[in-house]
Amino acid sequence: MSFFYELADQYIDGEWRTGSGSWDIIDFNPYNGEKLAAITIATVREVDLAYRAAERAQRSWATTGPYERRGVLERALRIVEERHEAVVEAIIDELGGTRAKAEYEVRVAKEFLRDAMHQALRPRGRLLPSPVDGKENRLHRSPVGVIGVISPFNFPFLVAMKSVAPALALGNAVVIKPNQHAPVVGGGLVAKIFEDAGLPAGLLNVVITDVAEIGNAFIEHPVPKVISFAGTDRVGRHVAATAAGLFKRTILELSGNSALVVLDDADVDYAVDAAVFSRFVYQGQVCMAANRILVDRRVEQEFTEKFTARVAALRTGDPRDPDTQIGPVISAFQADALTALVDRAVAEGATALVRGRTRGNLVEPTVLTGLPEDSSLPAQEIFGPVALLMGFDGEEEAVRIANDTPYGLSGAVHTRGIERGVRFARRVVSGMFHVNDSTVQDDPLVAFGGEKSSGLGRLNGEATVDAFTTQTWMSVQHGRSVFPF
């Protein structure tokens, strides 16, 4: 299937249609610059049509039996399995992801579909006791209605599916606004899968557009009750402020600045493996990626030698080549920004233990150490293949450095003492932290989200139920109440 020819359109109320805007979003392959598609953008009118279609369709979907909803999700899963290779190819072409990254994204997306199938059948009511004799308290969960999903470019298929699949399972309708760098994988492809799975028209819509055209219309529209956003903290703040003024719920997965910490008793070889993956998976364009590698000075020399040797050996090139480990970053703008960042750090006194070249959108890995104390680099998110190697003396200093950032999304600690690692993890302000593993983790059953500037709310498992349903307390008095007057 040629996704980029067939799915490069708006998808509204079960119809593929051309946007009514006056300009096109051009979808490029970030590796070779090939034009994949030209998509005429949606205007405020299409945003309204999409939300109104979702609102109409959701009323009957909310009363549809859970087994019927599960059936749609089962068919969607089968379609992804049947088209697995084509989806992988699309991710490689549109995102510049390596084959390993694309395989991972599709595999985890399938797990979220499987979990959503179970969500459709899980009980949504509870009976709670009351101090009043004869009173029965019933707590009911209902779908919130319509959810607006704004997906990112880095894992667009997975991140969209994380919201879309459980939202539909719980009786909601969805409108997706995919990132401009991933309009097909993050939008049209998801819609096509559910269309072919028999999802009734209007329940899932896709509008491909830009804030320059629609402003805040996607958030401010009166229909959506929840906005699920994944992206930078700068944009996330705007989404949160706009939605809060309208009493809309937000789920925000924002920027990160993870630390992978290597304590003095760590298995150094294993820690090196985890650090290389945590920093350089998908060219470092991952919110959970380990920007900072913190190493106890007692093992710093051994770790540094092994880590830099591994990084220097990473192969950068064509993401279609199965031997490639580092593909292109998403755009020339990002490549130039990363090059300038490294140049500035070196000019300020940092040492480049590995200094990668930039060739078009291919940015080879760089490892920096010896950053001056007043450097702002360790506190910020670096969305690319640049690692900061930092030494520390003892756990107290490691905890201080790990927390010395406005972000708190993920992290990891390596130690031979499991409970020592757990105690360390509990001292770091982070939504997720892992002992003896990578900083990059996702699991359908476990709450996913960050602290500080890394976001608000959680997704996955029961957290998704909380995000995409509303609760109603209904009490039933058996017999007669006694009133004070």
Assess whether 164 and 266 both reside in one domain: no
Mean pLDDT of 264-287: 98
Phi then psi for residue 15, to 5 deg, are: -125, 140
| Catalytic choice (105, 195, 253, 381) | 253
Assigned domain for 407 exists: yes
Cβ–Cβ < 8 Å for 468, 170? yes
445: in domain: no
Q: Residue 125: its pLDDT value, please?
A: 87
Give me the CATH number covering residue 231: 3.40.605.10
The predicted structure's pLDDT at residue 474: 96
Question: Is residue 430 included in any domain, yes or no?
Answer: yes
Average pLDDT, integer, range 241-260: 97
Q: What is the mean pLDDT of residues 440-454?
A: 96
Round to whole Å and give the CA distance between 150 and 389: 33
**Co-location of 195 and 268 in the same domain:** no
In a domain, 480, yes or no: no
* Annotation marks residue 55 as catalytic: no
What is the domain range of residue 410?
Answer: 258-435
Q: What is the mean pLDDT of residues 481-485?
A: 89
> Is 166 a member of any domain?
yes
User: Is the pLDDT score of 398 beyond 50?
Assistant: yes
Each residue's pLDDT tens digit, 302-325? 999 999 999 999 999 999 999 999
Shared domain check, 245 and 320: no
Q: Catalytic one among 46, 55, 94, 287?
A: 287
**Domain annotation covers residue 479:** no
pLDDT score recorded for residue 328: 98
Q: Do residues 213 and 284 both lie within one domain?
A: no
Which is it for strands 125-128 and 135-143: parallel, antiparallel or unpaired? antiparallel
87-128 pLDDT per residue, tens: 999 999 999 999 999 999 999 999 999 999 999 998 788 999
pLDDT at 1 over 70: no
Q: Are 277 and 401 contained in the same domain? A: yes
Instruction: Report the amino acid identity of residue 190.
Output: V
The verdict on 329 and 228 lying in the same domain is: no
In a domain, 484, yes or no: no
Looking at 46-50, 225-229, 371-375, which range is the least confident one? 371-375
Whether residue 268 is found in the same domain as residue 235: no
Residue 42 DSSP code: P
Short-list 313, 255, 277, 232, CA closest to 387 = 277
90 lies in the same domain as 151: yes
Tokens of 432: 């997720």
pLDDT surpasses 60 at 299 = yes
Based on the domain organization, do 309 and 288 belong to the same domain? yes
Chain segment 156-201, per-residue pLDDT in tens: 999 999 999 999 999 999 999 999 999 999 999 999 999 999 999 9
Write the pLDDT tens digit of every residue in 143-154.
999 999 999 999
Q: Which residue's entry shows tokens 């969960």?
A: 141
Regarding whether 45 and 64 lie in a shared domain, the answer is: yes
The answer to whether residues 175 and 28 belong to one domain is yes
- Residue 341 resides in a domain: yes
pLDDT at position 51 = 98
Residues 440-463, mean pLDDT to the nearest whole number: 96
What long-range pairs does 367-375 form, CB within 8 A, spacing at least 24? 367/307, 367/308, 367/311, 368/342, 369/304, 371/345, 372/348, 375/345, 375/348, 375/349, 375/350
Total domains in the fold of the chain: 2
Residue-level pLDDT at 365: 98
302 is catalytic: no
Do 240 and 293 have their domain in common?
no
